[in-house]
Amino acid sequence: MFDRQKKGERAVLVLPHSRADGDAERRAEEFVELARSAGVEVLDRVSARVESPSPRFYIGSGKADEVAESVLANEADVVLVDHILTPVQERNLERHLKVRVVDRAGLILDIFAQRARSHEGKLEVELAQLKHLATRLVRGWTHLERQRGGSVGLRGPGETQLETDRRLLGVRVKALTQRLEKVGTQRQQQRRARLRNTVPRVALVGYTNAGKSTLFNAITTGGVYAADQLFATLDPTVRRIEDLSCGPAVIADTVGFIRELPHDLVAAFRATLSEARDADLLLHVSDAADEERDRLRSVVDSVLEEIGAGDVPQLRVMNKIDMTGAEPRLDRNVDGSPREVWLSAASGEGLDLLRQALGERLGGHRVQAELDLPLSAGRLHARLTALRAITGERVDEDGWHLSIDAPYSVLAPLAGESRGEEARVLHTLIAPESDDEW
């Protein structure tokens, strides 16, 4: 056994890779950036080729000896491994190296713990950490085992420290889960309110450090923290956009994705991820200056599939063109709909094209027509007023005679919510060619 150091800020990195890895260098640099994002001082890097993982250390025993020499020479107090280790492999490495060992999942969880700011975000991080820790409680406290005996039926070992830790951990996990369910219910109510207001929802997604938060701040007044580091933003922030041709919309900034994102973290971060899953449109932000942008985009798409957001429509955004010399532009699909916007969130170039594309993708066509409502349709009249869809109005004994000018996407949901005569009149307005069905 050894005494675990509490500071853990001086690290040796272990960078496993295989012969088939074509991006080993990029992956290594990303892990170094992860370590620095956690506030770690990187003392040394040890590259380890792993074709067949060792059940004992994951890396080979010879390479483990090399890491031990580096730890001793550099006086490191933690070893960070760029791979997800089993609890047994992590424990064996700690015994062999005589320092704390943290795998890729543990490092990402540590960064999330540092960056979470909201009450919900902190709860989600703690829950993910406890679930990760639960698999690491492997016979670490047998020296504190309490014995119970003397009476018939009570002889033998009592509750071990390991069992106590597991029980206490389970109690805490249950409490956190219940609190998160309560917060989730409140968030769902807020989301339903947005749905009732029929305001289109947009979510920013992309590989971490692609510039999502900078873009969010550029098109809103969000004031979200943005920095050139991994996972700069964790907590979901939602703001309203008013200057779109389709009318108002809400946009959410979400956590950046990364390869091998811990499953416990994916499961725990329901708040941030649900913004992507429930959105009407995803703004998939990529770093235009990154040569690996196409491959990183596929990583994000795979995570979106994992969280159930794979079918949500996307508008691609190529950010940071100020670093490439490219000009802002709007690329379209064969049918003329916006497909990809090239811009720079930092300089503001191309933001007008993004607003144009958002207006087209969210609004479709505008509905400009005359609408007659009976006096009994007061609820629908109030909704149209709240949505600023009424440009002219006249009232007589027959009801309201309205001039309507609003995006199709704003009016269409009202038809599904309305009943009877209101639904028939509104359906005739937005889809007159289908009036025969009524």
Domain 199-363 has CATH 3.40.50.300: yes
Amino acid sitting at position 265:
L
Amino acid sitting at position 354:
L
Q: What pLDDT sits at residue 225?
A: 46
Q: What pLDDT sits at residue 386?
A: 81
Residue 416 DSSP symbol = H
The model's pLDDT over 280-293, given as tens digits with 9 standing for 90+, comes to 889 999 999 888 88
Closest CA to 266 of 85, 176, 132, 134: 132
* Mean pLDDT (whole number) for 157-182: 68
Domain ranges of the chain: 10-112, 116-144+158-197, 199-363, 366-437
Sign (positive or negative) of CA dihedral 272, 275, 276, 278: positive
Both structure tokens of 226: 């943005």
Amino acid sitting at position 268:
A
* Mean pLDDT (whole number) for 382-401: 85
Q: What pLDDT sits at residue 211?
A: 85
Please determine, for residue 424, whether its predicted confidence score (pLDDT) is greater than 80. no
The torsion defined by the Cα of 338, 343, 348 and 349, in degrees rounded to 10, comes to -90
For residues 71 and 409, which has the higher predicted lDDT (pLDDT)?
71
The model's pLDDT over 309-325, given as tens digits with 9 standing for 90+, comes to 888 889 999 999 999 88
Q: What pLDDT sits at residue 96?
A: 92
Out of 198-207, 359-368, 419-428, the most confident range is: 198-207
* Mean pLDDT (whole number) for 368-382: 82
Q: Do domains 10-112 and 366-437 have the same CATH topology?
A: no
DSSP, collapsed to helix, strand or coil, labels residue 205 as strand
10 Å Cβ neighbour count for 434? 10
Topology of the domain covering 366-437: Alpha-Beta Plaits (3.30.70)
Both structure tokens of 202: 């947009």
Q: How far is CA 71 from CA 41, 67, 76, 79, in A?
A: 13, 6, 5, 8
Contacts of 357 (CB under 8 A, 6+ apart): 315, 330, 338, 341
10 Å Cβ neighbour count for 348? 13
Distance CA 152, CA 159 (A): 17
Q: What pLDDT sits at residue 184?
A: 66
Architecture of domain 10-112: 3-Layer(aba) Sandwich (3.40)
User: What is the separation of C-alpha 84 from the centre of its chain, rounded to a whole number of angstroms?
Assistant: 20
Closest CA to 233 of 200, 259, 264, 206: 206
Distance CA 319, CA 285 (A): 7
